[in-house]
């Protein structure tokens, strides 16, 4: 009985926090500043508690499983959510519905935890839906803005469609194997055409959630219209969670179909990198720009997944950890500027260095890390991704990816040029950085600078990796 509480500790803690917020909402009205202090404190506790009493285990008739890798992935997600919460302080402190925002946000996080721990397609589906439906509701959280409701509408319709595809695939897998448990599927899957078709539908469902290219059309619009806090959550946390599940599902459940999915994932990787990069070049809105850049980053991650070795899964988790820090550094600056001045286009950022040198440097370090420029951690992340992708000897794929890194350097540097070199008649006025966002920037910069050099992190992830 004690095991139950220890194995489920991260989910239970999150549920408790959600219920605390719910009772606070029902009870006496509380000032936004106090409420935000309390929530951020609870999230810090939640993050730290993830490190204590780690225990492997299987619960509920193999529906739920956990091990050291799963706990690490959940800790990464917890950390990312904490950083986003700290960064969105400037936006939330004047918002009317702070506790609802956090209730919905943490519900999606809970869904992702169950999804990562799932040992059964039913549990996986429930987790996936718990992590997408509330997300559509918080995409609408700039209640008065036209773009925000348009973004929420696009997100809910496209995610409903994608879960329809996913479910049709699941139903065919159930029909051909007679079970929805992961272990049973692996033993019964034989690779007949119907199962390959079912797998393609499943892949399409996953592709929607991680916004790989043929399924990416909702991404840019949803990212542009949602509040910045939600955009950063969508592009980092929700994408990371689905990627973790994607790796473990491909490497364990669909291992018998490895020959088929190798080509499909390679194709998705090439198209994602190329299209993401080419569209990122012509974007003017900063959030749209980061949307396409994140599509390209997913393409790089898919390159590593095709490697299907232990190095592949190590590189994915390692890169996602770095991606959390670097993308959130960039989004943090946008979040702060957007909350105080409401300006979001790249041309608004011309001459940004003259008025806001600190924020400019944070943004520059984040973008350099996303581009993969050496001393930053992003370089090491990309390096390991490409090494893992080369493991199968598919050098054409790796060459395309490496060439695309040069294109990506062009558009990241274009933004940095606008910030540091261009002049502007009406530059963004100096922005005061409150204490919480300052802390978040410190965490991000420390992560970007140190993770590449601290060998321990990579070794630890490698010791947990899966592959074949």
Size of the site for another protein (CB under 8 A): 39
Distance CA 286, CA 223 (A): 10
Of 63, 110, 151, 367, the residue at the interface with another protein (CB under 8 A) is 151
Instruction: Specify the stretch interacting with another protein by CB under 8 A; choose among 7-15, 159-167, 299-307, 403-411.
Output: 159-167
Residue ranges of E strands in 23-80: 57-59, 64-66
Distance CA 70, CA 72 (A): 5
Of 168 and 383, nearer to another protein (C-beta) is 168
66: contact with another protein by CB under 8 A = no
Nearest to 466 by CA among 269, 267, 244, 303: 244
Contact (CB, 8 A) for 208 and 164? no
Shortest gap between Cβ of 127 and another protein (angstroms)? 11
Of 150 and 422, nearer to another protein (C-beta) is 150
What is the chain's Cα-based Rg? 21
Distance CA 186, CA 196 (A): 13
Of 15, 149, 186, 355, the residue at the interface with another protein (CB under 8 A) is 149
Burial of residue 260 (number of CB atoms within 10 Å: 0-12, 13-18, 19+)? middle
Shortest gap between Cβ of 222 and another protein (angstroms)? 9
Distance CA 89, CA 87 (A): 5
How many Cβ atoms are within 10 Å of 434's Cβ, its own excluded? Answer: 15
Contacts of 89 (CB under 8 A, 6+ apart): 36, 40, 434, 436, 437
Burial of residue 159 (number of CB atoms within 10 Å: 0-12, 13-18, 19+)? buried
Of 226 and 308, nearer to another protein (C-beta) is 226
Of 172 and 267, nearer to another protein (C-beta) is 172
112: contact with another protein by CB under 8 A = no
Report DSSP state, residue 81: H
Shortest gap between Cβ of 145 and another protein (angstroms)? 8
Of 226 and 356, nearer to another protein (C-beta) is 226
Which residues within the stretch 214-273 sit at the binding site for another protein (CB under 8 A)? 220-221, 224-225
62: contact with another protein by CB under 8 A = no
Shortest gap between Cβ of 178 and another protein (angstroms)? 5
211: contact with another protein by CB under 8 A = no
357: contact with another protein by CB under 8 A = no
Of 4, 33, 68, 160, the residue at the interface with another protein (CB under 8 A) is 160
146: contact with another protein by CB under 8 A = yes
119: contact with another protein by CB under 8 A = no
3 state SS of 85:
helix
Shortest gap between Cβ of 385 and another protein (angstroms)? 29
Q: Could you tell me the maximum CA-CA distance found in the chain, to the nearest angstrom?
A: 67
175: contact with another protein by CB under 8 A = yes
Of 32, 171, 340, 345, the residue at the interface with another protein (CB under 8 A) is 171
Shortest gap between Cβ of 131 and another protein (angstroms)? 12
Instruction: Specify the stretch interacting with another protein by CB under 8 A; choose among 33-41, 133-141, 348-356, 422-430.
Output: 133-141
Of 157, 258, 432, 446, the residue at the interface with another protein (CB under 8 A) is 157
Contact (CB, 8 A) for 362 and 376? no
Read off φ and ψ for residue 28, nearest 5 degrees: -65, 145
Q: What is the DSSP string of 423-461?
A: --SSPPPPPP--HHHHHHHHHHHHHHHHTTT-HHHHHHH
Of 161, 197, 262, 361, the residue at the interface with another protein (CB under 8 A) is 161
Tokens for 66, please give them: 């956990």
Residues that bind another protein (CB under 8 A): 122, 125-126, 129, 133-134, 136-137, 140, 143-147, 149-153, 156-157, 160-161, 164-165, 167-168, 170-172, 174-175, 178-180, 220-221, 224-225
């Amino acid at each position: 009985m004690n095991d139950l509480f220890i194995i489920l500790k991260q989910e239970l803690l999150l549920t408790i926090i959600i219920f605390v917020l719910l009772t606070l909402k029902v009870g006496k009205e509380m000032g936004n500043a106090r409420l935000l202090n309390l929530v951020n404190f609870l999230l810090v506790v939640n993050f730290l508690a993830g490190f204590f009493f780690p225990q492997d285990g299987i619960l509920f008739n193999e529906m739920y499983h956990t091990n050291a890798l799963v706990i690490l992935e959940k800790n990464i997600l917890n950390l990312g959510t904490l950083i986003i919460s700290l960064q969105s302080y400037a936006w939330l402190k004047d918002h009317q519905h702070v506790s609802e925002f956090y209730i919905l946000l943490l519900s999606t996080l809970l869904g992702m935890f169950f999804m990562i721990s799932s040992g059964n397609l039913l549990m996986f589906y429930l987790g996936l839906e718990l992590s997408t439906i509330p997300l559509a509701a918080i995409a609408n959280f700039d209640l008065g803005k036209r773009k925000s409701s348009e973004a929420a509408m696009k997100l809910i319709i496209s995610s409903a469609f994608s879960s329809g595809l996913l479910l049709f695939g699941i139903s065919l897998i159930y029909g051909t194997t007679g079970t929805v448990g992961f272990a049973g599927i692996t033993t019964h899957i034989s690779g007949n055409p119907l199962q390959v078709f079912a797998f393609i539908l499943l892949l399409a469902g996953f592709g929607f959630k991680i916004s790989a290219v043929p399924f990416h059309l909702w991404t840019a619009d949803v990212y542009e219209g949602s509040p910045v806090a939600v955009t950063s959550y969508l592009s980092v946390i929700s994408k990371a969670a689905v990627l973790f599940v994607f790796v473990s599902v491909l490497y364990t459940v669909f291992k018998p179909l490895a020959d088929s999915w190798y080509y499909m994932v390679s194709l998705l990787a090439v198209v994602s990198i190329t299209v993401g990069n080419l569209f990122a070049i012509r974007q003017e809105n900063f959030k749209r720009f980061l949307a396409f850049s994140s599509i390209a980053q997913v393409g790089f991650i898919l390159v590593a997944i095709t490697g299907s070795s232990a190095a592949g899964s190590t590189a994915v988790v390692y890169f996602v950890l770095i991606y959390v820090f670097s993308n959130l550094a960039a989004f943090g600056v946008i979040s702060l500027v957007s909350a105080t001045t409401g300006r979001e286009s790249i041309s608004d950022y011309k001459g940004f260095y003259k008025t806001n040198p600190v924020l400019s440097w944070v943004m520059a370090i984040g973008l350099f890390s996303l581009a993969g420029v050496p001393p930053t951690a992003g370089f090491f992340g990309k390096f390991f991704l490409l090494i893992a992708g080369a493991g199968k000897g598919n050098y054409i794929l790796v060459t395309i990816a490496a060439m695309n890194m040069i294109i990506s350097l062009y558009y990241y540097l274009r933004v940095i040029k606008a910030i540091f070199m261009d002049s502007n008649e009406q530059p963004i006025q100096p922005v005061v950085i409150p204490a919480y966002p300052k802390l978040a920037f410190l965490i991000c910069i420390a992560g970007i600078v140190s993770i590449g050099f601290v060998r321990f992190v990579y070794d630890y992830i490698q010791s947990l990796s899966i592959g074949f």
